[in-house]
């Protein structure tokens, strides 16, 4: 599978969803995740993300490995819905895109 990591939090640019051939992105209040049951590892979303939030599972950085499980959990969590069309990024995306340690900002 592919994994959306911390950089997405409070940004949610959504360029990724437009290119996904299997519509495997799920949307929460301030982040997207990938449903590992649907992802076919095509990797086309990776270069679409303007903040490089998406990795193949085997390439997820060591400090981001918790996100592999989080993507799996949240993709089936109540309220997390399929998103297949790009929409405007969150209003403060530019301000948050270079911040680190955003896991505590994640709204589930
Ligand atoms: Fe998030 Fe990047 Fe997609 S910021 S919504 S993974 S384009």
Angstrom distance (rounded) from CA 7 to CA 89: 13
Atom of ligand 1 nearest to the CA of 14: 5
pLDDT, tens only, 52-83: 999 999 999 999 999 999 999 999 999 999 99
Does ligand 1 have an atom closer than 6 angstroms to the CB of 15?
Answer: yes
| Structure ipTM | 0.97
Nearest to 53 by CA among 107, 8, 100, 1: 8
From the CA of 103, how far away is ligand 1's center (Å)? Answer: 15
Number of DSSP helices (H) and strands (E) in the chain, helices first: 3, 5
Residue 50's pLDDT band (cuts 50, 70, 90): very high
What pLDDT does 19 receive? 98
Helix ranges, 24-65 (H) = none
From the CA of 5, how far away is ligand 1's center (Å)? Answer: 9
Nearest to 43 by CA among 32, 57, 30, 28: 57
Is 14 in contact with 87 (CB distance < 8 Å)?
Answer: yes
Does ligand 1 have an atom closer than 6 angstroms to the CB of 24?
Answer: no
Burial (CB count <10 Å: 0-12, 13-18, 19+), residue 6: buried
Angle at alpha carbon of residue 8, lines to 35 and 104, rounded to 5°: 100
Question: Average pLDDT for residues 84-88, to the nearest whole number?
Answer: 98
**What is the pLDDT of the chain when averaged over all its residues?**
98
What pLDDT does 72 receive? 98
């Amino acid at each position: 599978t592919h994994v959306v990591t911390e950089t997405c939090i409070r940004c949610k640019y959504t360029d990724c969803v437009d290119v996904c051939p299997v519509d495997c992105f799920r949307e929460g209040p301030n982040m997207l995740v990938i449903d590992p049951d649907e992802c076919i590892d095509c990797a086309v979303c990776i270069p679409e993300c303007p903040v490089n939030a998406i990795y193949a599972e085997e390439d997820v950085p060591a400090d981001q490995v918790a996100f592999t499980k989080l993507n799996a959990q949240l993709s089936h969590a109540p309220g997390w819905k399929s998103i297949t069309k790009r929409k405007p990024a969150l209003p403060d995306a530019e301000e948050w895109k270079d911040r680190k340690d955003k896991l505590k900002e994640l709204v589930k």
